Amino acid sequence: MRAAAPITLSLSSTLRFVAALLVGLALAGTAHAARVAVLSDAYASATAANFAANVSGDTFTGIDVSTSVPSLATLLANYDVILLFEDGEFANSTAVGTRVAAFARAGHGVVLGTFYDQDRSDATGTTTPPHGWGDLENIDPNTTDGVGTPYAVRTLDPTSIVKHPLTFKVTSLSALQGSPGPYAGGNQAKPGTTVVAAWLQPNARGLVDPAIAYRRTGAACVIHIGIAPDYPVLPAFSDYGTDFGGDFYRVWKNAFDFGAADCGANAIPTLSGWGYVLMTLMLLGTAFASLSRKSRGAKASR
pLDDT tens per residue across span 184-197: 999 999 999 999 99
In whole angstroms, give the CA distance from residue 161 to residue 172.
9
* Exposure string for 166-182, b = 16+ CB within 10 A, e = fewer: bbeebeebbbbbbeeeb
End-to-end CA distance of the chain: 8
Tens-place pLDDT, residues 16-68:
555 554 444 444 443 458 999 999 999 999 999 999 999 999 999 999 999 99
The lowest-confidence range among 41-50, 122-131, 237-246 is: 122-131
In whole angstroms, give the CA distance from residue 77 to residue 216.
22
Q: Is 234 exposed, middle or buried (0-12, 13-18, 19+ CB in 10 A)?
A: buried
What's the pLDDT at 221?
97
Q: Where are the alpha helices (DSSP H) in the chain?
A: 11-30, 44-54, 72-78, 93-105, 248-260, 273-301
What's the pLDDT at 285?
58
What's the pLDDT at 211?
98
What's the pLDDT at 272?
44
Architecture of domain 33-260: 3-Layer(aba) Sandwich (3.40)
